[in-house]
A and B are shown apart, each in its own frame.
Chain A
Amino acid sequence: MAELLTPEIKARIGTASPEIRVEVTRRDIQKYAVSTGQRARKYLDGDEAPPLFHFGYSMEILPPEQLRKDGIAEDKLIPPLPLKRVMAGNSDTTYHRAIRPGDRLVITRRLKDIYEKQGKSGPLIFVVTETLIETAAGEPVLNEVTSLIAR
């Protein structure tokens, strides 16, 4: 099988995005809770964030003219890949403590691995990223490992 992944692409493994600092608000939690159809009062009242609430914090905030035609912001952590059709794969999160209003969080994303495999209908590239969330005081909140598949 021909190598799709160039040394330039592989050299990016281990690199990290600039850290993101956020202040969690009750209103943000309430919006997320209502929009996902939560039933638990603590989520609807914004006392505590549902387990997948942090997903939105990985979205870069850019003006429309800086987005791609499909509306997506280019993910600067992931190098341009030779296969262009990208699909969400797996997400696995380990939780250390709940996110609550008033929390000041530090979010770091790191490119953990890029590798290729031969799929049934052609080559596949797997991109594995890790998101670490801590409080500003350094208390671990969660870590999430996510994989994307390009075909």
Chain B
Amino acid sequence: MPKFEDIRSGDALPSRDHTAGIVQLFMYNAAIWNPHRIHFDHAYATEEEGYPGIVLDGPLQGDWVAQVVTDWIGDDATLVSFGYANRQAAFLGETMTAGGVVEAKDDASREVRLKLFLQNARGETTIPGHAVVRFP
């Protein structure tokens, strides 16, 4: 886990790949109680709505971005704020990479601002994100 004194602007946070399978996607939609058919009904998603496949939930991918932060800080800092923007859809079977960098550090407030991203295999940022964490 990082020590506030050792953190520098531009530091990269550990990145992680996520490939949601149909079972994980089912569990997620059951856990949040989401019956939207584009997330589990392949025929409906492709034939009725014209998607190339089953659509990954935006907030699931947002969570992958948030995990870059929570895995990095562990129990050593507090999440103050987190945001993400759904720019581009992703589909079942795609591997998405979540990561981020330290954007700024404030010695007075002991807060660190992070710039985050989720990228697809083509290197396109599909979900940009940002967070502020506070160190004790």
A residues neighboring B (CB under 8 Å): 28, 31-32, 34-40, 42-43, 50-52, 55-56, 59, 61, 64, 67, 70-73, 87-95
Contacts and interface: CB of A to CB of B under 8 A. Distances in A.
A34 to B, nearest CB: 7
Contacts of B75: 42
Contacts of A40: 70-71, 74
A94 B70 contact: no
B66 interface: yes
Nearest to B41: A71
Contacts of A37: 18, 24, 64, 67
Contacts of B86: 87-90
A79 B78 CA distance: 37
A147 to B, nearest CB: 9
* Most chain B Cβ neighbours within 10 Å, of A28, A51, A59: A51
Contacts of A73: 35
Nearest to B67: A38
Nearest to A97: B78
A64 to B, nearest CB: 7
> Which 10 A-B pairs have CB atoms at the shortest separation, nearest pair first?
A56-B32, A92-B83, A35-B27, A35-B28, A71-B37, A71-B35, A31-B31, A88-B58, A59-B33, A90-B85
Interface size of B as a range: 35 or more
Given A36-B28, A55-B32, A59-B34, A93 B67 contact: no
Interface of B: 18, 24, 27-28, 30-38, 41, 44, 48-49, 58-60, 62-64, 66-67, 69-71, 74-75, 78-86
24 contacts: A31-B31, A37-B24, A37-B67, A40-B74, A42-B75, A51-B70, A52-B62, A52-B63, A59-B34, A61-B33, A70-B38, A70-B48, A70-B49, A71-B38, A88-B59, A90-B84, A90-B86, A91-B85, A93-B83, A94-B81, A95-B78, A95-B79, A95-B81, A95-B82
A71 B48 CA distance: 13
Nearest to A60: B33
Contacts of A95: 78-82
A31 B30 contact: yes
